Copies of this chain bind each other. A is one copy, B any other.
Amino acid sequence: MLNTLTNALCVSLQMYGRYTQELGVYAKEEAARLRESGQRRSVSDRSRTLDLLEYDKGRCAKCRTQKWMYGGLDSNVFLQYLAWVTYPVVLITFSAGFTQILAPQAVGSGIPEMKTILRGVVLKEYLTFKTFVAKVIGLTCALGSGMPLGKEGPFVHIASLCAALLSKFMSLFGGIYENESRNIEMLAAACAVGVGCCFAAPIGGVLFSIEVTSTFFAVRNYWRGFFAATFSAFIFRVLAVWNRDEETITALFKTRFRLDFPFDLQELPAFAVIGIASGFGGALFVYLNRLIVQFIRKQKAINRFLMKKRLLYPALVTLLVSTLTFPPGFGQFMAGKLTQKESLVTLLDNRTWAKQGIAEEFDYIGQSQAWKHPQVNVFVTLVLFIVMKFWMSALATTIPVPCGAFMPVFVIGAAFGRLVGESMAAWFPDGIHTDGTIYPIVPGGYAVVGAAALSGAVTHTVSTAVIVFELTGQISHILPVMIAVILANAVAQSLQPSLYDSIIRIKKLPYLPELGWGHHEYYNIRVEDIMVRDVRYITLNCTYRDLHNVLLTGHLKTLALVESAESMILLGSIERAQLQSLLSLQLGRPRRLEYIKERATAEKKRLSVVSNPSSDDGSHRASQEVRFQVRGHCRSRIDRMESHPFHLCLMGCNLRKIAPQTTERIAEWEEMQLDEQVNFNNCKIDPAPFQLVERTSLHKTHTIFSLLGLDHAYVTSIGRLIGVVSLKELRKAIEGSVTVKGVKVRPPLASFRDSGTSSSENEATELHKLWDRHKSMSLPREHTPSESDEKSQ
């Protein structure tokens, strides 16, 4: 194991060395090389890769600091600036370019995509080996640039990629890995691993991944997540020990707050204030992030320009951010020279920076010095840091590189907490507690609370509380953290969607919005109000022509199969692909060849004396070859645009090279074939598609859809198909009645109904109809009551 580790390390270091090469060229070379090598490489162990990634990042950050600090550029500010700016611009540009060329799916956090995939939607390109490579290399460079970018989202994605590739690899050996629900379970565990080894927080990782990716969670997966996350966190931290960075396994950002009196009860209002303010801040962050994306999309001039030079936007943003953080410039007022990790370490420090309001008294050691400015108060530095980092992070996370937003938000939250804490410390220099002992206020504790609250508000999770405990190795502030996180969540959830849901909407991924709280109307809206009544269906005794027509008009993936157009009794559903193959089977090559052979034999018999049989055979072979070619062509086109029915294209193609007489005959034959009744024998039918009743409430429908990961459900009334509801309708209905501004698109019938006293009446009427129908319509096959008596006795 150690051997492979060192090997992998060497590779990554070698890779690192190449960064100084011409990057554009290298990116293209690398991309081409990888594209060719394809899936050849074996999938390495999941957690190990992630740890290496983490490891790389640390090294990059170190090199970066070294490069600048000991670069001998102290004398010349301009050279210093050039070095400070060039480095991140080159790295980000390379990362953006590499990702763009190799796998554009690797851009961004990956959590929204994972949420969609775990919801049951297939997004296949997001779990390929190419995406894996692009994500790993792109992320390494992006993090090394020192921009305010996070890594927890990409880690989740990378872990899921590992799991998916591992499943694919293992399924070669057969067995349990072939089962698809097993793969979903693997992915759920992988998400936990991703967060777990990012923060060395196994418990928080599991919980965070559950909150972020799931709507309903199978408790039996819980154990698996813990197992995987514990080992990933363990190996991640063990590497630090082996590397002699640490003496033993401890927390990543260890704090040393006092244990006997962590905080006073009277400080709780201050913590609550942090929570509420973080809630507003979190909502603002999500809003700002969405605004930037939408602004850039809308401005057509900018957009066209940026599209042409795809790498310009990342470069420009990086240039702006790194210019503003340049330490001798504006950066001196916002601790610009600290990396993200260093900022966090200093913010969580247990010493007070501003004793009695005078910042100078504190003995700033090491990196904490960055926060001290000779002219400016430490409060101003903190406020500037928060404000600048806030918009910078919101802007930086829109760059098309693999990156998350958790860590930047976490740091901003910590800075905000620290600000409140320092203010409290300045306000109550001797602490609040009045009985005897003096317990000064610990601003570091406020920083922990702020970090958890803001990151919780942005992601709409409560488990950030657990993450901070595991990250700092101290749990003494549990109550303040919990209270702040809950308040932050309450505020943020009522203002904005979570960052991940926001990205899902921006990217237009298929999703199901969560039901908000206290919307009682969900109980009053019924499925019948939102369903599509004009359902595409096929009957059991339909012809191929019907099939063809249905395939031509609709775009649904599955079609309902009913007994007959009158009874409309739902028998099952058939996938579009199945129907297409039925059609192509009916009109396909083998049957066509057979027909042609038959015709040829008949012709031969007729013309056996007149013509030369060998020439006929030759032309037959030629036409056959041509047809084969166009067939291949058609097939790929069909695969691309599935809605196109198969045989039309075939007909069109055939018209070119074949004699008009033959064409006519074939067309005739095709018409004949189309009038035959469909034989469903070789067709896979789902005999129990999910059914709802027309009176099911929207609330219940939502629950069922998210529980079972449904894509659509048929609405039946006592066996008869009367409508269909898909994710789209459901989404519209929920958002329609949720929208705060604008017109409420409430279903037209919803208001006519009250709490449901008339429900039994309606049902009775409905049944009455059926009963009457049954009596009148199906009389021919009705039997005498005595007969049914015998049966049921």
Contact for A764 among B264, B682, B766, CB less than 8 A: B682
Give the shortest distance, in Å, between A495 (CB) and chain B (any CB): 16
A454 contacts B by Cβ under 8 Å: no
Which chain B positions have C-beta within 8 A of A783? Answer: 564-566
A542 contacts B by Cβ under 8 Å: yes
A754 contacts B by Cβ under 8 Å: no
A763 contacts B by Cβ under 8 Å: yes
- The interface bits of chain A over 207-244 (1 if a CB of B lies within 8 angstroms of the residue's CB, else 0) are 10011001111111011001100100110011001000
Which chain B positions have C-beta within 8 A of A66? Answer: none
Identical copies of this chain, number? 2
Which chain B positions have C-beta within 8 A of A767? Answer: 680-681, 683, 685
Give the residue name and chain of the B residue nearest to A713 (CB). Answer: B688
Contact for A788 among B176, B259, B486, B565, CB less than 8 A: B565
A447 to B711, CA, bound (A): 50
Which chain B positions have C-beta within 8 A of A699? Answer: 181
Given contacts A563-B719, A693-B688, A717-B687, A479 and B781 within 8 Å (CB-CB): no
Give the shortest distance, in Å, between A252 (CB) and chain B (any CB): 11
Give the residue name and chain of the B residue nearest to A790 (CB). Answer: B565
B520 touching A782 by the CB < 8 A rule?
no
Give the shortest distance, in Å, between A261 (CB) and chain B (any CB): 6
Contact for A250 among B250, B262, B474, B760, CB less than 8 A: B262
Give the shortest distance, in Å, between A728 (CB) and chain B (any CB): 21
B248 touching A261 by the CB < 8 A rule?
yes
Given contacts A230-B483, A259-B254, A782-B541, A688 and B707 within 8 Å (CB-CB): no
Which chain B positions have C-beta within 8 A of A178? Answer: 755
A788 touching B684 by the CB < 8 A rule?
no
A433 touching B219 by the CB < 8 A rule?
no
A565 to B360, CA, bound (A): 92
B782 touching A781 by the CB < 8 A rule?
no
A719 to B226, CA, bound (A): 43
Quick one: which of A555-596 are within 8 Å of B by CB?
563-566, 569-572
Interface residues, chain A, CB within 8 Å of chain B?
175-176, 178-179, 181, 202-203, 207, 210-211, 214-220, 222-223, 226-227, 230, 233-234, 237-238, 241, 247-251, 254, 256, 259-265, 433, 435, 462, 465-466, 469-470, 473-476, 478-479, 482-483, 486, 489, 514-515, 518, 520, 523, 537-543, 545-546, 549-550, 563-566, 569-572, 675, 677, 680-688, 691-693, 696, 699-700, 703-704, 707-708, 716-719, 755, 760, 763-764, 766-768, 770-771, 774-775, 777-778, 780-783, 785, 787-789, 791-793
Instruction: Apart from A230-B486, A550-B792, A681-B764, list 12 A-B contacts with CB within 8 A.
Output: A202-B482, A210-B219, A215-B219, A216-B218, A249-B479, A251-B478, A549-B793, A565-B791, A572-B719, A680-B767, A687-B718, A780-B781
